[in-house]
């Protein structure tokens, strides 16, 4: 049982949730199945109620429960993936480029949802991203890696305002800004 609890304590949300969502199973059936797996003492009706609560928690209508993943938008699929990862009530969510495939307005909505969930559930995030604007919006601390090694770490505001490592400075220099024109020289990772 300890191994199961360890796995449940950390859950993962991927950039593309589609492979983790069964194409023939409705969203509600998938959530209900997960709830029954993680909470064996719950009956089907209670699991359906909890599935509706989870959908509401991630900003989706309970009407989504009858939909199959292929009928949903990318943002809706990502919210369903987040709801599924919340089933075992994890302490940590690892989000691997979880918003990079979404358009900017949907990305902002999902980031807002993640911020709300972090406060409501006291869950921690490990947020993997190449998008420094996303990192600034969602993180308290940043760890910058280059070629598999940590080159700089610290509070997000400090790292992004006064980076010490040349690679971090190069990443920040590569961020488009007002008046930025494509074709500038690429920053050297050295």
Phi, psi (deg, nearest 5) at residue 52: -65, -40
Report how far apart, in Å, the C-alpha atoms of 174 and of each of 7, 79, 112, 130, 171 are: 37, 30, 25, 11, 5
Query: Distance (Å, rounded) from C-alpha 93 to C-alpha 150?
Result: 21
84-98 burial, b for 16+ CB within 10 Å, e for fewer? bbbbbebeebbbebb
Q: Which class in CATH covers the domain with range 9-139?
A: alpha beta
Q: What's the pLDDT score for residue 181?
A: 46
Report how far apart, in Å, the C-alpha atoms of 70 and of each of 18, 26, 80 are: 8, 10, 12
Strands (E), the chain: 10-13, 92-96, 124-128, 141-146, 149-155
Q: What's the pLDDT score for residue 41?
A: 58
Q: What's the pLDDT score for residue 7?
A: 58
Domain map of the chain by residue range?
A: 9-139, 140-177+186-190
Closest CA to 64 of 34, 99, 110, 31: 31
Per residue of the chain (190 residues), give pLDDT as tens.
Answer: 444 555 578 999 888 888 888 888 999 999 998 888 887 556 888 888 899 999 999 999 989 999 999 999 989 999 999 999 999 889 999 999 988 888 888 888 999 999 999 999 989 999 998 888 888 888 999 999 999 999 999 999 999 999 999 999 988 888 776 554 444 444 455 5
List Cβ neighbours of 9 (8 Å cut-off, separation of 6 or more).
88, 90, 91, 92
Q: Model-level pTM?
A: 0.81
Residue whose tokens read 């009928």: 71
């Amino acid at each position: 049982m300890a191994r199961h609890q360890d796995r449940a304590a950390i859950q993962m949300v991927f950039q593309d949730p589609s492979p983790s969502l069964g194409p023939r199973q409705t969203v509600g059936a998938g959530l209900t199945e997960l709830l029954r797996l993680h909470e064996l003492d719950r009956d089907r009706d209670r699991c359906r109620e909890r599935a509706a609560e989870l959908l509401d928690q991630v900003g989706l209508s309970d009407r989504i429960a009858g939909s199959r993943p292929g009928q949903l938008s990318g943002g809706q699929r990502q919210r369903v993936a987040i709801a599924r990862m919340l089933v075992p009530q994890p302490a940590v969510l690892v989000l691997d480029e979880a918003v990079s495939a979404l358009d900017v307005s949907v990305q902002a909505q999902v980031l807002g949802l993640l911020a709300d969930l972090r406060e409501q559930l006291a869950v921690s995030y490990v947020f993997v991203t190449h998008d420094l604007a996303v990192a600034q919006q969602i993180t308290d601390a940043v760890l910058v890696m280059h070629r598999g090694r940590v080159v700089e770490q610290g509070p997000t505001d400090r790292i992004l305002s006064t980076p010490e490592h040349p690679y971090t400075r190069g990443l920040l220099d590569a961020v488009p800004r007002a008046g930025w024109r494509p074709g500038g020289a690429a920053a050297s990772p050295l």
